[in-house]
């Protein structure tokens, strides 16, 4: 069984990590980006690792009682979108490296960090949007868990035994 309290904590950690990574992208963007691989690659790796962690969490939540909880499927869809934004941010970091290193490959490449800075700005924007989603979902799940301690029917509905006996609420709404 998946510990939804632990997932709430993890969702909050993703929010904090995204804020930190976004600030790091902004700091790099404001510099000269003289050594793009050395300056941007660590950020890119951390964002990629976070995207993998988030994808794993989405999977774990998808096979838990969470999607059957009220609003759970919708929240899972929001998390999937935010995870895609994190992945896009990681790709944008790699593009920032590429655009800054093009001067070694092409005579007509832009020698300024402008294009790379724009990619890092876009990466930061994607991380900010994902952070907002993660914070909102963490707050919703926290409220649901808090109310489930006071409402036994919620606990019963989200228990594995309840899922084995009845179809998911989403399935009932479709029929």
The percent helix, strand, coil of the chain (3-state, each to 5) is 80, 0, 20
Percent of the chain residues topping a pLDDT of 70 = 83
- Residue 2: predicted pLDDT: 64
Quick: pLDDT tens for 70-109: 889 999 999 999 999 999 999 999 999 999 999 889 999 8
CB neighbour class for 85 (10 Å; exposed up to 12, middle 13-18, buried from 19)? buried
- Residue 149: predicted pLDDT: 60
Which positions ≥6 away from 20 have C-beta within 8 Å?
none
- Overall average pLDDT of the 146-167 stretch: 46
Check whether 53 has a pLDDT greater than 70. Answer: yes
Check whether 29 has a pLDDT greater than 60. Answer: yes
Q: What is the pTM of this model?
A: 0.81
Given pLDDT bands bounded at 50, 70 and 90, which one contains residue 145? confident
- Are the C-beta atoms of residues 100 and 155 closer than 8 Å to each other? no
Which has the minimum average pLDDT: 106-110, 128-132, 170-174? 170-174
Which has the minimum average pLDDT: 33-42, 51-60, 100-109, 139-148? 139-148
Check whether 166 has a pLDDT greater than 60. Answer: no
Higher pLDDT, 109 or 145: 109
Quick: pLDDT tens for 31-44: 999 999 999 999 99
């Amino acid at each position: 069984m998946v510990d939804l309290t632990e997932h709430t904590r993890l969702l909050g950690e993703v929010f904090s990590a995204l804020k930190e990574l976004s600030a790091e992208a902004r700091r790099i963007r404001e510099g000269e980006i003289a050594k793009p691989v050395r300056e941007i690659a660590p950020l890119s790796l951390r964002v990629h690792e976070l995207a993998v962690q988030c994808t794993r969490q989405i999977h774990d939540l998808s096979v838990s009682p969470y999607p059957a909880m009220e609003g759970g499927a919708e929240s899972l869809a929001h998390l999937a979108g935010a995870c895609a934004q994190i992945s896009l941010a990681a790709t944008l970091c790699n593009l920032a490296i590429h655009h800054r290193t093009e001067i070694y490959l092409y005579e007509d490449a832009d020698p300024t960090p402008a294009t790379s800075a724009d990619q890092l700005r876009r990466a930061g924007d994607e991380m900010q949007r994902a952070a907002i989603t993660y914070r909102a979902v963490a707050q919703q799940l926290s409220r649901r868990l808090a109310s489930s301690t006071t409402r036994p029917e919620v606990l019963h509905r989200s228990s594995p035994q309840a899922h084995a006996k009845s179809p998911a609420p989403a399935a009932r709404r479709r029929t």
